[in-house]
Every structure is written in structure tokens, then in C-alpha cells.
Amino acid sequence: MSRPYRRPVFAVIRLVLFQPDIPQNAGAMMRLAACMGISLDLVEPCGFPFDEGRMDRDLKRAGMDYLAMLDLVRHTSWSAFRKSHGGRLVLLTTAGDVSHADFAFRPDDRIIVGRESAGVPQDVHDEVNARIRIPMRLGIRSINVAQAAAIGVAEALRQTGQLPR
């Protein structure tokens, strides 16, 4: 039996997409945010159309009807995002210093994922408060960004007691 949709009380943790360039992944992460009850910050530019009248069909397909339930804030640039948000900046990156499982998340963390094609530039690496990685087998390059976001967000919500009920 399905439960009727109710507007959630959003967790304090936020997911930040830095200039996403694959619409299917962005849609999947938007769906993740809606389902987990977290807000999502989108740092532009995107590598695909993302306007009301001209939204990429692959993004809409991956996000499905969950996009209507998303608490989304768009930022025209990294500097615009930085001016509008507090909280600790936690970057998910293959160049991370510590495993996500060993990292102590805080309730006000902003979990950042980079572009699928290039991650984030060095100046963003230099500005974040923490760089964490998801452990993988040797010789493997990276986990899909949407899957990595799900792993990081789930662990952060679990640690901080913000998992939806």
C-alpha cells in the first residue's frame, strides 16, 4: 500500500552538484535528494538544458515525478553559492584524504560532487573543509557520481540521525 505524499521536513545536510554535465546523473541525484528529504544546490553552468520550458528529457526521465518534490536552489556560479551558504563543505572525490566511513559528518555539512567529466577545479578543492573518498578496489578509476552521492548522503544522514522515517 502506498502512502500519500506529504511535504517533508528537510534535513539540514545538503547535496551540492557542481556544474553537472550528464543529465541522467543529475536527475538521479535530484531524485535521491527528494527521496531522502534533503535540499539540493545546483552550481551552474550545467552541461545540458535546465530551464522550465527547455529541460533535458533524460534529466526528466531519471528524476521522474520526484523533481516536483525537490527542494532545489540554483546558483549561477561557485562564488554565488559560497556567498549564500554556510556549513562545512565536504567534497566527495577520488583524491580524498579519508574514507567516508571514517569521516565524522556534522548536521550542517554540504556534500559536494563534481562534474562527471572533470570533477571540480583546484580552487574548489582548496576551499573545501574536507575531502572524502569512497574506498574501491585497486585499479578502479571511479564510482558513478550519482552512486557516490547516494553512498555519501546515506552515511551522512545515518551518522547525524537525519535519515527519513
Amino acid at 138: L
Tens of pLDDT, residue by residue over 128-161, are 999 999 999 998 888 999 999 999 999 999 999 9
Pick the CATH number of 14-160 from 3.40.1280.10, 3.40.50.10440, 3.40.50.920, 3.30.56.10: 3.40.1280.10
What are the strands, taking DSSP E only, across 11-69?
A: 14-18, 39-43, 50-51, 54-55
User: pTM of the prediction?
Assistant: 0.89
To the nearest 10°, the Cα dihedral for 130, 134, 137, 138? -20
Tens of pLDDT, residue by residue over 99-113, are 999 999 999 999 999
Tens of pLDDT, residue by residue over 70-86, are 888 999 999 999 998 88
